[in-house]
Amino acid sequence: MHIMEGYLPLAHAVGWSLASAPFVAMGLRAIGGRIEAQPELKMVLGVSAAFTFVLSALKLPSVTGSCSHPTGTGLGAILFGPLVMAPLGAIVLLFQALLLAHGGLSTLGANVFSMAVVGPLAAWGVYKGARWIGLPAGLGVFLGAALGDLLTYVTTSFQLALAFPSAQGGVLVSFQKFAGIFAFTQLPLAICEGLLTVVIYNLLHQFHGHLLAPRKAEVSE
């Protein structure tokens, strides 16, 4: 979903940056509150950020002006809530744009919105919904991470469709084309990300369950 540098029209780049900014600000406040209450959570937050950085750097080229890759934001969203991932995701995307030429500064706001806002919100919502209806924690984590990944790419497809509507059919036809291209690579990647997220989630609970006390009961499920 890393839309490359200079690919979006200026108005779209600015608009998505403005849309992302409030979530990043609220996320910084959320992180500050969690760290103040539990300073020892810094390490687990760092693991969540590193997980996002590594997974989202594993890109596959695409003809859409973007790329396909896992996102890694579901883990942090499930552990700490979706707002926390907005600033963490923004930092990850900024470093990738500067150090790896992956994404770009002009498209940073759009990339943050899809990967660090919509993706975590979807992952957290699906996980909470799965737990509410009584599904095991592991299955909830898998569904949350996988669907959070897919919703990230649905959002990117919509962003690209808005910027480049089809001459025949407009935004809807363009969205279908972008989403169809992403689907070939992203469906298997989302499944793999879901499985890997379950593994890391279980390891964190095994070795740092005392820091994640509100969800400690889920470890044995």
Q: What is the CATH number of the domain that holds 38?
A: 1.10.1760.20
Task: For residue 1, tell me if it sits in a domain.
Answer: no
For residue 7, give every residue at least 6 positions away whose Cβ sits within 8 Å of its Cβ, in sequence order, or none.
65, 66, 104, 107, 163
C-alpha count within 13 angstroms, C-beta hemisphere, residue 171: 8
Task: For residue 95, tell me if it sits in a domain.
Answer: yes
Task: For residue 203, tell me if it sits in a domain.
Answer: yes
Task: For residue 127, tell me if it sits in a domain.
Answer: yes
Q: What is the pLDDT of residues 54-111, one digit of tens each?
A: 888 877 766 555 677 889 999 999 999 999 999 999 999 999 888 888 888 999 999 9
Structural domains counted in the chain: 1
Confidence band for 38, pLDDT divided at 50, 70 and 90: confident
Kindly report whether the global pTM for this prediction surpasses the value 0.85: yes
Burial letters 103-130, b for 16+ CB under 10 A, else e: bbebbbbbbbbbbbbbbbbbbbbbbeeb
Task: For residue 119, tell me if it sits in a domain.
Answer: yes
Task: For residue 47, tell me if it sits in a domain.
Answer: yes
- Owning domain of residue 165: 10-215
